[in-house]
Chain A
Amino acid sequence: SQQGEEDPQALSIQEGENATMNCSYKTSINNLQWYRQNSGRGLVHLILIRSNEREKHSGRLRVTLDTSKKSSSLLITASRAADTASYFCATDWNGGFKTIFGAGTRLFVKA
């Protein structure tokens, strides 16, 4: 089964609102990454947070990591229509070399 599971599966918000997506994983990890995928395109890396970090910021993105709960959240502040995409969390599997992705959250930002 997949390592990461995102929720919600889909999220629809108005432009200007904040969007929060959550990710849970199963095994120990070295770090966790978030990616974005626009329809019909490949994934684009957004942010990486290491297992010894609790929070990280990048522009309008804020990521938190709680290793005791094996969970992470991605917050997009002041969303824009252009943020409409699928968002995936990804982790290494038991500290191994492969990167495993969750099923993703589909975000719709209405203008």
Chain B
Amino acid sequence: NAGVMQNPRHLVRRRGQEARLRCSPMKGHSHVYWYRQLPEEGLKFMVYLQKENIIDESGMPKERFSAEFPKEGPSILRIQQVVRGDSAAYFCASSPAAGRGDSPLHFGNGTRLTVT
């Protein structure tokens, strides 16, 4: 019974390149959240998606960042023209229902993005 799978585990990109982070939620989960974590800090909410819909993207930078959760396949967080400040750990979480915070989130082990 696989948990939330994120890949790649580590990703190195040069400034100006694109980064694509993938997240496969737990089986049966149709709600996906993306968070960003800087070293020694908490998780910053980025975006909440349901299948084929973006529900809340209030934490996403307006430029260069986009997210999708297609009907088939994993959720993708895409960062275009990466800059050094994008270096962070990006975590995906899934839940079985749209909770008002009452569905515990199941987290992947994150993708650590390093921009050189």
Query: Which residues of A line the B interface, CB within 8 A?
Result: 2, 29-33, 35, 40-45, 48, 50, 88, 90-92, 95-104, 106
B109 interfacial contact with A, CB 8 Å: yes
A97 B42 Cβ-Cβ under 8 A: no
A101 to B46, CA, bound (A): 12
Q: What number of B residues sit within 8 Å (CB to CB) of A?
A: 28
Residues of A within 8 A of B110 (CB): 41-42
Residues of B within 8 A of A88 (CB): 42-43
Residues 15-41 of B contacting A (Cβ, < 8 Å): 33, 35, 40-41
A75 to chain B, nearest CB (A): 20
Main secondary structure of the interface of B (DSSP, over half): loop
A100 B56 Cβ-Cβ under 8 A: no
Query: 1/0 contact trace for B99-116 toward A, CB 8 Å?
Result: 111101111111000000
Query: Which residues of B line the A interface, CB within 8 A?
Result: 4, 33, 35, 40-45, 48, 55-56, 58-59, 91, 93, 98-102, 104-110
Residues of A within 8 A of B40 (CB): 106
Pick the contact of B4: A2, A33, A42, A103 (CB < 8 A).
A42
Residues of A within 8 A of B98 (CB): 97
| Minimum CB distance partner of B4 in chain A | A42
| Minimum CB distance partner of A47 in chain B | B104
| Minimum CB distance partner of A100 in chain B | B45
Max count, chain A CB within 10 A of own CB: residue among B44, B93, B101, B106: B101
B48 A48 Cβ-Cβ under 8 A: no
